[in-house]
Chains A and B, each alone.
Chain A
């Protein structure tokens, strides 16, 4: 049928344990399809997906257990909140894991703390009276309470304001450092990708077209633009400066590095 097409073609990638991998690409490039294979919501029609030693596509793979180890947060995750209180909503996942009462309680409180919503203040409130950013963090807590070892986030900050985004990523980073979770992030926001990711995978039309460290990827602005993406503003600025004859090393990447390079440049020209 004409309406169906192959969403992913010949994609081969490895994500290291404990790292933060970002998957970027324009709408319809296959990012979301790719990450939904990671906990068996989708199964490959051919090829294999191995997550934490489990072959997702294999017959009889225990996807229920796998989904407890691979937490997944979708776009607009506040739409999935449904309980009367924040506590009950976050407890939904752990309850389904057949944990004991005290264990559930400890996990819920821990998860709420981890996303910066003090349980004392928020646990008994209705999730629907919170702000957009807070609702998202409740949804994130709902996933964290299942103590996943891999966290898949599909454009988690779309539609949030700058403050909400910054907060969300602040807590995300903290969670990664404290709990050693592997993070797979699908995003449009290049600045955040540049700041968070260890590895970047670029998808285009269902193909994996680029992969590497952020420095390497974002120094190839031309190629990125060919795939409908743009490098972060800092990289654009540096490229323009280079075109005007300022000598800046190719691997300059963070604001601090750029600052050092530019101040030394200034001293030399003076």
Chain B
């Protein structure tokens, strides 16, 4: 909850960081390339599934944050994540990454996975 709260507060900043209309043109396909090239996968996994050891267990697949809050956090993270400035990660790439994460397939229920429901 704290994670969400902090970034809603930063949403105003984010609006100015992501150019208007950028999100509309965002490409999930390009986003996959940008996600890998910029090292997002290192802590969040290739599918944004997260890890308890590298991202405090937070899942960014499906992005529970709105785009502006997401961008604000990437630019000025409050936790252990290092900041990605626009000089490192251009707005267009960031928007593509958001599109990629939004496009991740919704996970099945663990109850529908025999290896998990049986444990």
Query: Do A and B interact?
Result: no
